[in-house]
Amino acid sequence: MTTGALIFAQNTATIDYNKMAVFAASRVKEYLEIPVSLVTDNKRLFLDTYADHPFDQVIEIPIAKQEYQKKFYDGALSSKMLDWKNLSRSQVYNLTPYDKTLVIDSDYILGSSLLKSAFENDYDFQIYSRSMDITDWRTGPEFKRINPYSIPFYWATAFVFQKNEIMQSFFDLITYIKTNWIYFRTLYSIDSPLFRNDFAFSIAIHIMNGKTNGQFAVELPGKMFYAMDRDILVKIDGNKMKFLIEKKDFLGEYIAAKTTGIDVHIINKLSLSRYIDGGLGV
């Protein structure tokens, strides 16, 4: 059985996701020691820009016919509406060159080898529903359920799946939910009109479980740790990451925080991009 990781990166006018994917892939190879492939919508641009890249394969998909816009925060006081490409994840079953695949977002930065054990488990599908903010005061209720009275929230940020008929059906279901998003967001009382992979995965898992608390999705090892987009990445040094964290009840003020030996979903993509370029500030 072949194993490896897959990272999606589709650049927009403002954010170089390819750059973040190269950085994330280097961490996967360092901590997990598995091959990594990239999915992007402009292979020539990627290869021209990053000739010395860490990927074993670069897989091209068509450029999205439709882009969305969403608000991106860059610290507590700065935000802007930016383009957002988020519709290709459902194709992962057919795109992956591996029999067992770890899929991560380009802003999911490894600081440990914890996910190695996921490849030792014989489960069809492993994904995070357990999660924790790197602060000790933000409780993140929006990451517990897709609305306060609905089904559990699952993170499409990182997951491991095996190729088989069950998982092919699951990703076909994701595509069906995406195609009929207005219906499903109404059915599950989701306020946001934007399609989100997290919501689609949560709904599909609920359906695959027979709309009960079933065992279709198994938890990945550990928890999903995340830093919000109101926070600012300062430095990554080996398995340590330093942040300026939005201060509780003091808008625009920050406190320092450090993580050691954990993987972190850095939601402030602008901050991560700036760090990779060697800069700080907002």
The pTM of this model reads: 0.95
Q: Which amino acid is at 276?
A: I
Confidence at residue 248, expressed as pLDDT on a 0 to 100 scale: 87
Please calculate the CA angle 72-106-52 and round it to the nearest 5 degrees. Answer: 125
Domains identified in the chain, total number: 1
Task: Confirm whether 113 is domain-assigned.
Answer: yes
- Give the pLDDT score at 281: 40
278 in a structural domain: no
Tens of pLDDT, residue by residue over 65-91, are: 666 788 888 998 888 888 878 888 999
pLDDT by residue (tens digit) across 17-72?
A: 999 999 999 999 999 999 999 999 999 999 999 999 999 999 999 987 666 788 88
What's the CATH number where 144 sits?
3.90.550
Q: Is residue 229 part of a domain?
A: no
In the chain the first and final C-alpha atoms are separated, in Å, by: 45
Is 271 within a domain? no
pLDDT in tens for each of the 282 residues of the chain?
Answer: 899 999 999 998 889 999 999 999 999 999 999 999 999 999 999 999 999 999 999 999 998 766 678 888 899 888 888 887 888 899 999 999 999 999 999 999 999 999 999 999 999 999 999 999 999 888 878 899 998 888 999 999 999 999 999 999 999 999 999 999 999 999 999 988 889 999 999 999 999 999 888 899 999 999 999 999 999 999 999 999 999 998 888 888 899 999 999 999 999 999 999 999 985 544
Q: Is residue 107 part of a domain?
A: yes
Residue 90 covered by a domain = yes
With both helix axes pointing from N to C terminus, report the angle between 17-31 and 269-276 in degrees, rounded to the nearest 10.
80
- Evaluate whether 35 touches 5 at the Cβ level (below 8 Å): yes
In a domain, 147, yes or no: yes
Give the number of C-alpha atoms closer than 13 A to the C-alpha of residue 236, restricted to the C-beta side.
Answer: 26
Instruction: Indicate whether 127 belongs to any domain.
Output: yes
The residue segments making up the domain with residue 49 are 3-224
